[in-house]
């Protein structure tokens, strides 16, 4: 009797594959259902299926079209992000440390912030054309706000006694900025950077799609433009879904990479 | 005849008052008023008083982090114009830099501030090393503050304070956050590090804020008792207990008398403060 009770309460040892298997079960089932549905449809370009999506992905990768487009989009994201990083951090520190600067700049920032990056696109295209400069300006615009706001927040939240401690040790002002304010707000700045990369990636896809529409596809390049070609010319949803999956995986990889970077750069928080 | 400079006490507060203005209501409240105090070099002063008596305000003004609304504060006869490494501060919550290791925290002032002026890299390293050992933290140099116990953090703060070589030590309830046993141990250790066994000329000047009367009696040469509304000096009680002091001094009748006398000065207001 007591044996039976103990047996029921004790956790049963599980094989190592048990947890991943449980996690994979539902997605696999859904994939199978999706494939089954797609085979009942007459037109394979309008009813994408897992098998066709995979085949398209392999074809696009082998031809080099997908890697080239992906690299082009990633390059734009990094370029725009880098500009936003410098501008956001510098202005953020200025706003976080000086009430005068903050009072002067905040109303401007707050009135632009609700304007979505896509809403700025028409101006960007008219000013910079449909190539990389327009894409960079949209990405930079999108990435700027999360960076700026998180930097301002981080800088203004710095523990006052840490600043006082540095002053009582005769540390000059600029050095306090570099040695106390910056590291103290680093977690906040890194959070802003991670959010900024996320929205930058979203913005570049949308911008390339839209610029693709304006330029008729090919010209502007990037994975978003590639999707536009699938949509408007080949009319093949398999290609679009393949792109969607790649975009999602890249976003996930960027996020993971950045979380790793945060852990490395702020070891005192873990 | 002595030169004029040498007759000045190490630290002098003359008619010091501090009023704060509330930012919205613009209401002025007097935090402290009429504080007169002269502290000789090598003296250990404790300031006690009920909460809200302006102890920390006085310390911040000596540190130069706050300016008096009226009156003057002088170090060696020179008015205090702002913070300086000649007056080291140990903050209530230690103010350790969470992103720096124990070793980097202790060396922060030497590497970034005026205390390191004129020292070679090697001299700085040696001085940091020496202070790590002084507070018995060898072996924990690469730990971050969040990995340390309260007592160890307190030691890091003390080592950082001393490594900068200040003339005057300003300590704001540095043992307040510790458990009772650790406090007793660190009080004795603090006296050793301050230089209790050395002649007075070799000791640092210390201003130590506490709300613990027995701690004040155990540590101080003189106890400054403050009262509140507004904060002012109620009495200055000389502690005539021989140095070096050890644990047993707490059991002497004189220790009890002094504690009782100070408690008598604070009691009424302490009750008011919790009412």
Can you give the pLDDT of all 275 residues of chain B as single tens digits? 444 445 789 999 999 999 998 888 888 888 999 999 999 999 999 999 888 888 999 999 999 999 999 999 999 999 999 999 999 999 988 999 999 999 999 999 999 999 999 999 999 999 999 999 988 899 999 999 999 998 899 999 999 999 999 999 999 999 888 888 888 888 998 898 888 888 888 899 999 999 899 999 999 999 999 998 889 999 999 999 999 898 899 999 999 999 999 999 998 887 877 77
Instruction: Identify the residue with better confidence: B206 or A126.
Output: B206
Pairing of strands B168-172, B87-90: parallel
3-state SS class at B200? helix
Mutation test of the interface with chain B: which of A160, A168, A270, choosing the one with the most B Cβ atoms within 10 A? A168
Q: Is A180 on the interface with B (CB under 8 A)?
A: yes
Residues A186 and A265: beta-carbon distance below 8 Å: yes
pLDDT at position A240: 92
> Which region holds residue A208: left if phi is over 0, alpha if psi is between -120 and 50, else beta?
alpha
Q: From the CA of A169, how many Å to the nearest CA of chain B?
A: 5
- CA-nearest residue of chain B to A164? B65
Residue B113 burial (C-beta neighbours within 10 Å; 0-12, 13-18, 19+): buried
Q: Please answer yes or no on whether B63 and A168 come within 8 Å at the CB atom.
A: yes
pLDDT at position A187: 94
A19 is a domain residue: no
Query: Which residue's structure tokens are 């404790």?
Result: B46
Q: Which residues of B touch A (CB under 8 A)?
A: 63-65, 82-85, 87-89, 91, 93, 95, 97-100, 108-109, 112-115, 144-146, 164
Q: What is the CATH number of the domain that holds A99?
A: 1.10.3720.10
Check whether A82 has a pLDDT greater than 50: yes
pLDDT at position B97: 97
Q: Please answer yes or no on whether A169 and B145 come within 8 Å at the CB atom.
A: no
A73 is a domain residue: yes
Hey, what long-range contacts does A158-164 have (CB within 8 A, 24 or more apart)? A158/A184, A158/A185, A159/A184, A159/B95, A161/B91, A161/B93, A161/B95, A162/B95, A162/B97, A164/B63, A164/B65, A164/B83, A164/B89, A164/B91, A164/B95
Pairing of strands B168-172, B205-209: parallel
3-state SS class at B87? strand
Q: Which domain holds residue A168?
A: 50-264
Asked whether the CA dihedral A215, A221, A222, A224 is positive or negative, the reply is positive
A197 is a domain residue: yes
| A184 neighbourhood in chain B, CB within 8 Å | 97, 99
- CA-nearest residue of chain A to B143? A268
Residues B92 and B263: beta-carbon distance below 8 Å: no
A7 is a domain residue: no
Check whether A142 has a pLDDT greater than 80: yes
Residues B168 and B11: beta-carbon distance below 8 Å: yes
B-facing residues of A in 125-164 (CB < 8 A) are 159, 161-162, 164
A117 is a domain residue: yes
Q: From the CA of A162, how many Å to the nearest CA of chain B?
A: 5
In degrees, to the nearest 5, what angle opens at C-alpha B64 toward C-alphas B62 and B67?
Answer: 95
pLDDT digits (tens, 9 = 90+) for A49-71: 999 999 999 999 999 889 999 99
Check whether A7 has a pLDDT greater than 70: no
Q: What are the structure tokens assigned to A145, written together?
A: 């706000």
A14 is a domain residue: no
Q: Please answer yes or no on whether B88 and A169 come within 8 Å at the CB atom.
A: yes
Q: Helices A65-97 & A50-63, crossing angle to 10 degrees? A: 90
Q: What are the structure tokens assigned to A165, written together?
A: 């401690």
Q: How far apart are CA B54 and CA B59, in angstroms?
A: 9
Check whether A135 has a pLDDT greater than 80: yes
Q: Is A216 on the interface with B (CB under 8 A)?
A: no
pLDDT at position A216: 58
Q: Is A177 on the interface with B (CB under 8 A)?
A: no
Q: From the CA of B267, how many Å to the nearest CA of chain A?
A: 31
Task: Tell me what the mean pLDDT of segment A190-210 comes to.
Answer: 91
Size of interface A-B (CB pairs under 8 A): 71
Q: Please answer yes or no on whether A169 and B115 come within 8 Å at the CB atom.
A: yes
| A262 neighbourhood in chain B, CB within 8 Å | none
| A186 neighbourhood in chain B, CB within 8 Å | 99
A162 is a domain residue: yes
Provide the mean pLDDT of chain A.
Answer: 88
HSE, CB side, 13 Å, CA atoms: give it for residue B157.
30
Q: For chain A, what is the domain count? A: 1
Residues whose CB falls within 8 Å of the CB of residue B105, separated by 6 or more in sequence, listed in order: B96, B97, B145, B156, B160
């Amino acid at each position: 009797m007591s044996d039976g009770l103990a047996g029921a309460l004790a956790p049963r040892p599980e094989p190592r594959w048990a947890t991943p298997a449980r996690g994979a079960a539902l997605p696999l089932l859904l994939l199978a259902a999706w494939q089954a549905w797609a085979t009942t449809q007459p037109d394979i370009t309008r009813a994408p299926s897992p098998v066709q999506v995979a085949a398209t992905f392999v074809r696009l990768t082998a031809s080099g079209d997908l890697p080239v487009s992906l690299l082009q989009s990633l390059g734009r994201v990094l370029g725009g992000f880098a500009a936003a990083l410098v501008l956001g951090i510098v202005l953020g520190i200025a706003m976080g440390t000086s009430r005068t600067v903050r009072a002067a700049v905040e109303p401007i920032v707050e009135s632009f912030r609700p304007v979505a990056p896509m809403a700025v696109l028409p101006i960007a295209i008219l000013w910079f054309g449909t190539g990389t400069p327009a894409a960079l300006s949209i990405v930079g615009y999108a990435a700027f706000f999360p960076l700026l706001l998180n930097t301002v927040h981080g800088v203004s939240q710095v523990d006052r006694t840490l600043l006082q401690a540095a002053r009582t040790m005769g540390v000059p002002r600029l050095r306090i900025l570099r040695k106390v304010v910056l590291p103290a707000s680093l977690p906040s700045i890194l959070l802003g950077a991670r959010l900024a990369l996320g929205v930058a990636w979203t913005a570049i896809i949308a911008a390339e799609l839209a610029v693709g529409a304006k330029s008729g596809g090919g010209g502007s390049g990037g994975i978003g433009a590639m999707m536009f070609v699938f949509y408007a010319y080949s009319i093949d949803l398999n290609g679009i879904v393949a792109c969607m999956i790649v975009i999602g995986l890249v976003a996930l990889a960027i996020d993971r990479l950045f979380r790793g970077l945060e852990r490395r750069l702020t070891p005192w928080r873990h | 005849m002595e030169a004029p400079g040498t007759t000045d006490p190490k630290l002098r507060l003359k008619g010091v008052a501090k009023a704060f203005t509330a930012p919205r209501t613009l209401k002025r409240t007097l935090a402290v008023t009429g504080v007169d105090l002269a502290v000789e070099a090598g003296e250990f002063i404790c300031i006690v008083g009920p909460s809200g008596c302006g102890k920390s305000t006085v310390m911040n003004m000596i540190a130069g982090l706050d300016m008096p609304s009226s009156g003057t504060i002088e170090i060696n006869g020179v008015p205090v114009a702002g913070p300086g490494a000649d007056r080291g501060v140990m903050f209530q919550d230690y103010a350790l830099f969470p992103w720096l290791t124990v070793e980097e925290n202790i060396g922060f002032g030497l590497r970034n501030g005026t205390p390191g002026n004129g020292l070679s890299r090697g001299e700085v390293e040696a001085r940091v090393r020496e202070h790590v050992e002084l507070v018995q933290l060898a072996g924990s140099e690469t730990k971050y503050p969040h990995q340390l116990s309260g007592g160890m953090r307190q030691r890091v703060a003390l080592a950082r304070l001393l490594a900068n070589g200040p003339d005057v030590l300003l300590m704001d309830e540095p043992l307040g956050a510790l458990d009772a046993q650790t406090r007793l141990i660190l009080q004795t250790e603090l006296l050793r590090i301050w230089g209790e066994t050395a002649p007075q000329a070799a000791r640092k000047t210390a201003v130590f804020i506490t709300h613990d009367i027995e701690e004040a009696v155990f540590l101080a040469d003189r106890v400054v008792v403050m009262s509140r509304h507004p904060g002012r000096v109620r009495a200055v009680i000389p502690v005539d207990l021989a140095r070096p002091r050890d644990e047993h001094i707490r059991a002497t009748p004189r220790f009890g008398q002094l504690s009782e006398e100070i408690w008598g000065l604070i009691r009424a207001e302490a009750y008011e403060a919790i009412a």
